[in-house]
Amino acid sequence: MKILVINGPNINMLGIREKHIYGSENYDTLVELCKETGKKLGVEIECWQSNHEGDIVDKIQWAYFNGVDGIVINPAAYTHTSVALLDAVKAVSIPTVEVHISKVKEREDFRQVSYIRAACVKTISGQGIKGYETAIKYLAEEEYKR
């Protein structure tokens, strides 16, 4: 099984940006956690990050043509704005889990909308970077059931 972990804008700034919200662990630690989780489950993990909406659309389409079985995505700010990301996930029909590091529900009104959610099999929010581990485990277990 192959899982692609996509992170959107400013997630590369983890450990620097708003630590009281996103914690002090950096992006490299997030990548390590995902890879370790994959190793334990016997799942191949690719981690990829971009600050650019169109590049994320391209990567989701790339997943379709490159044998990706599951996507974990934190679209970051594009969660609240991007119909293009919603359409991309719908287009590829790859089981996708939406992850947010922070407790989005307890934050500003403009963060309460998620366009991509309608195309996702699950949403994980407020678990810190551990949420990525939960998401990978969920996709691996669902794959096992199929």
Least distance (Å) between residue 56 CB and ligand DQA: 13
**Is 52 assigned a catalytic role?**
no
Between residues 39 and 118, which has the closer beta carbon with respect to ligand DQA?
A: 118
**Is 22 assigned a catalytic role?**
yes
d(CA 115, CA 96): 13
Least distance (Å) between residue 24 CB and ligand DQA: 15
Q: Please choose, from the candidates 123, 71, 132, the residue with its C-alpha nearest in 3D space to the C-alpha of residue 98.
A: 123
Q: Please report the DSSP string for 68-128 in residue order.
A: --EEEEE-GGGGGT-HHHHHHHHHHT--EEEEESS-GGGS-GGGS--SGGGG-SEEEESST
* Cβ–Cβ < 8 Å for 127, 136: no
Between residues 111 and 122, which has the closer beta carbon with respect to ligand DQA?
A: 111
Which residues of the chain form contacts with ligand DQA (CB under 6 A)?
A: 10, 74, 76-77, 79, 100-102, 104, 111
Least distance (Å) between residue 111 CB and ligand DQA: 4
Which of 78, 100, 115, 132 is an active site residue?
100
Which residues participate in catalysis according to the annotation?
Answer: 22, 100
